[in-house]
Structure 1
Amino acid sequence: MDFAFKTFERPLLAMLPLAIILVQYFSRVRFPFGLPGGLVAVASGAALAWALGVMDTGAVAAAAAEVGFQAPRFAGGELFGMIRSEYIYRFLPIIIPMGLFNVIGSLQNLESAEAAGDRYETVAPLAVNGVGSMLAAFFGSCFPTTIYIGHPGWKGIGARTGYSIMNGVFFGVIALFGCVNLINAIVPMEAGIAIVLWIGIVIAAQAYQATPREHAPAVVVGLFPAFAAWGLNLLKQGYLGAGTTLGEQAARGIPINGFAGIPALDSGFIFTSMILAAISVFLIERRFLEACLWSLAAAALSFFGVIHSFRFQGNETLPVYGWAAGWRYAFGYLCFAAIFAAFHLWRRSNRSNQPARTED
């Protein structure tokens, strides 16, 4: 949604590229000479920005002065020094769940690719992610690699294996030669927003298109935690812009009905989305035993604070891990499990009490 907001925040720059992207990918219209729609959109947006005089030639000159080969610097010493410091143990309860979130996100992207007709083995992509993240860390990167989201969208615009290779080469070159700021100074962000917005549209649409129609309510339920995370982020930005923090306002009492449920759904929302969607699917199919088992898993995760538990710290909400950290939510999921187990046993009893059919 952020990209949609930014598009309409600066319509003079962003709506022309958006129109080109929509014509290319919604209407499946090919541009003359086989030009890619994304390239046409970015070039048109950049040209319009310069024509309107909103770009800064001084910024281009300053960025151009930074261009030059920047050899990677080995940071293994600093890395091992950090491992021996107190910080690694202090933040380990955050590091481990974040690593799990990355793994889950990668698995979801593999599933998205399979739903789009392309099946990949699980082990090799995850292994490459892990090795890539560790190698990058030895050279100072704090960003873990993950399987890129949006496979259906990229496939829809004609991208194949070569696209990923070209991406890697392109970003490797501009990073090694310090060209990132130069590109940002020449091409406004609004020129490329439409492409990312298109990918988001395709991913959201796939959630409904690649699932049975009767499972559509489960897709909606699975979106609740994601909407909560998005809404909480808006609150944080708003309070920060107003010179205060979410923690300060929460201590005073935020006048939003059910506010405490927003950070509760935000905490561990990737897991919660999967769990709630899975429970909903099994209930739709009247598979009460499976719904019960998923509820028990949710109760265990809640009890130890992996999902739902949170605390305010400044303008952030941080997870709270530990014994009985989220016992209230665990109790709620145990109620889920009890109800579903009761219906499972009731249906099983009804089936066993039905008289056996005899053939004439």
Structure 2
Amino acid sequence: MQQQRDLAPSPSGGSALSAEPFRWFVPRDLDGFFGLFVDNLVQLILIVTLCGAMCGMSGEAAFLLYQRILPGVAVSLLVGNLFYAWQARQLARRTGRNDVTALPYGINTPSLLVYVFFVMVPAYVAATSKGASSVTAAEQAWRVGLVACLGSGLIEFCGAFVAESVRRRTPRAALLSTLAGIAIGFISMSFTLQLIQKPLIAMLPLAIVLVTYFSRVSFPWRLPGGFVSLLAGVLLAWGLTFLHQVWADGPVWIARHALNSSAVRESWQVIGFAPPQLWLGDLWQVVADPGQWLGLLSVIIPMGLFNLLGSLQNIESAEAAGDAYDTKSSLAMNGLGTLAAAAFGSCFPTTIYIGHPGWKGLGARAGYSIINGVVITILCVTGTVALIQSLVPIEAGVPIVLWIGVVITAQAFVACPPAHAPAVAIGLFPAIAAWGMTVVQGAFLVAGGVTMQSLLSKDFSQQVNGFLLHGLISMERGYIFTCVILATIAVELIERRFLRAACWSSIGAIFAGAGLTHSYQLSGNLVDFLFAGSRAPEGSMLYHATDVAIGYGLMAIVFLFFAFRKVESVPEQAPVLTESDAHRSLEFH
């Protein structure tokens, strides 16, 4: 069967077999490089921007970014890009083809955002609230991030040997809907707000991205749309900056869009060679204390599984495009890349990127992967990422990240059976609630004065602008588990597998009772997990989700009742998505 797939016709046209040898570099590898490089560059800018602004890694603590995290990123991306290029050459030799395209590879965007918001920022806030200096708190955030990356790498590597079994046993709607919920809130919504913050810089790049990927048009000289959009945003930003300097009394909207030109001069100060180093001691400092990472399992485990499943789907996508790679070795290398990241100082997992057919359509082969790995390594170990960040405003790259969020959300509906659309929808709610909780908590922290604890201590049904505050906090705790549980229950009910639905409801009860979901301790405006049997700081407000656990148990009883009772079918009155609608959606994507 494997041999038959290897000899399938190339989707790009012509025979898959060729007398010409496979070449490491072809002219079209430059096209592929620009596309992949722009994706990776946006991730680097996000790392520098988010870690600097939200985790205290600026000023005196900037060394954490430029001497530890970025060199670790360089190692993880270099080894992976070189491996997938070598893998493409091996496949070409085995099949006798010269049109094999390497798997695209880079930093996992959803994991990057989730780890910053839900792993590193809480660790930084907790350390500062206990009186730690900004530098010490930033170091703690970095160490906790390393452990999260290590956990994801272990899941990805071990999962390579059981990936097919996981894929068969877990409803796709459950996993993809959770990722879609994160994409809606923490990717699409957050960056949409940033887009509107500086529309003159971001909206033209947005138009270029949308016309590139919605309309599938090509630019002159076959320039990648992502590169064109980024270039347009940069030119606009610096054009407005120059206009503001020569027209100091101009309109305020010009000043609002102007960049800090002095940041370019300051960025030269961090340029210097920073070779990758092993940071196993710092990693062990957190691993040896389970109290520092046990509460993070509700983030680490689901994100590791999502990364694993997403990479598996992208391997399947490559096979559909004509390049049938070995699943086990491809996924194992992805896991090893993430483990290398954690060992050498990066907090951010790697992944096999979506879009292999697109790079194949550009004509890229193996060289684009090699060039990308080398260029990214040079940027990371020389500190020139800071210079690029000062030259390239984050708003110029926002449309590309926004598009990623759109694709992830759309995929959750399109890649699942049409009948499972309601399950995808119900799985979105906990993740959206988590985003809302982040916004509310941030507002309380900035405003000062009245705290969430003081409000809930007076009235447990306290509302904030119409939203139940307790419900928001409870739904946010372990929300990724809750997404999977609710969506899976919905899938099992749609398929009339009542016994399985009861089992998943029981899992929900166990998780709530153990404190992995819904339970919390609230101290002022700081929220933390409240595990069964754990001791909370004196003066904190505690909520044990025993009532939620009982609620899940009651749901299980209802499902068990129908599992052992003959149920007659009820005619469907209003289908959510017709078969023809589904076909049209699949054709569009």
Range of TM-score over shorter length: 0.7 to 0.9
Provide closer, same or farther for how the CA distance between residues 314 and 101 of structure 1 changes in structure 2, counting only shifts above 3 A.
Answer: farther
Paired residues of 1:125 and 1:147 also in contact (CA < 8 A): no
| 1:46 to partner: Cα distance | 0.2
1:1-360 to 2 correspondence within 5 Å? 1-53=189-241, 54-80=258-284, 88-110=289-311, 112-113=313-314, 124=329, 127-128=332-333, 130-141=335-346, 143-147=347-351, 151=354, 166-244=371-449, 246-251=452-457, 254-256=462-464, 257-322=467-532, 325-347=544-566
TM-score, with structure 1 as normaliser: 0.84
Residue 15 of structure 1 deviates from its aligned partner by: 0.4
Is the Cα contact below 8 Å between 2:315 and 2:327 reproduced in 1? no
**Is the alpha carbon distance of 1:314 and 1:104 closer, same or farther for their aligned partners in structure 2, counting shifts above 3 Å?**
farther
Instruction: Give 3-state SS (helix, strand or coil) of 1:237's partner.
Output: helix
Cα distance, 1:125 vs structure 2: 5.7
Matched-pair contact (CA < 8 Å) for 1:303–1:323: no
Provide TM-score, normalisation by structure 2. 0.53
Q: Which shifted more, 240-249 or 15-24? A: 240-249
Cα distance in 1 for residues equivalent to 2:414 and 2:287: 45
Residue type of the alignment partner of 1:317: V
Aligned equivalents of 1:89, 1:320: Cα separation in 2: 14
Which whole-Å deviations, capped at 9, do the CAs of 1:215-241 have from their partners, x for residues lacking one?
111111000111111111111222222
Q: Which deviates the most, 297-306 or 317-326?
A: 317-326
Residues 123 and 117 of structure 1, relative CA distance in 2, 3 Å threshold: closer
Structure 1 counterpart of 2:149? none
Provide the C-alpha distance between the structure 2 equivalents of 1:261 and 1:121, rounded to a whole number of angstroms.
Answer: 45
The answer on whether the counterparts of 1:299 and 1:331 sit within 8 Å (CA) in structure 2 is yes
**Aligned in 2, Cα 1:223/1:167: closer, same or farther, shift over 3 Å?**
farther
Kindly provide the amino acid, as one letter, of the partner of residue 63 in structure 1: S
Aligned to 2:145: none
Aligned Cα root-mean-square deviation (Å)? 3.0
Give the Å deviation of 1:121: 6.8
Aligned length: 344
Distance change >3 Å, CA 73–CA 111, structure 1 → 2: closer
Shift of 1:107: 3.1
State, as a whole percentage, how many aligned pairs show the same letter.
38
What 5-or-longer segments of structure 2 have no aligned partner? Answer: 1-188, 242-257, 535-543, 570-589
For 2:452 and 2:373, locate their aligned partners in 1 and report how far apart those are by CA, in whole Å. 38
Looking at structure 1, the residues matched to 369 and 476 of structure 2 have their Cα atoms a distance apart, in angstroms, of: 32
Alignment partners' CA distance in 1, 2:342 and 2:497: 45
Deviations 1:249-303 (A, max 9, x none): 5445542343222222211122211111111111122221121111112112222
The answer to whether the Cα contact below 8 Å between 1:67 and 1:179 also exists between their aligned partners in 2 is yes
Offset of residue 196 of structure 1: 0.6
Q: Which residue of 2 aligns with 1:356?
A: none
CA contact (8 A) 1:4 1:197 kept: yes
Which amino acid is the alignment partner of residue 147 of structure 1?
Answer: T
CA pair 131-156 structure 1, distance change in 2 beyond 3 A: closer
Q: Quick one: higher RCO (CA 8 Å, sep 6+), 1 or 2?
A: 2
Amino acid at match of 2:463: P
Quickly say closer, same or farther: Cα 1:193–1:282, change in 2 above 3 A: same
**Matched residue of 2:531: which SS?**
coil
CA shift in 2, pair 1:133/1:202, >3 Å: closer
In the alignment, the residues of structure 1 paired with residue 439 and residue 479 of structure 2 have an alpha-carbon distance, to the nearest angstrom, of 16
1:10–1:248 distance in 2 versus 1, CA, 3 Å: farther
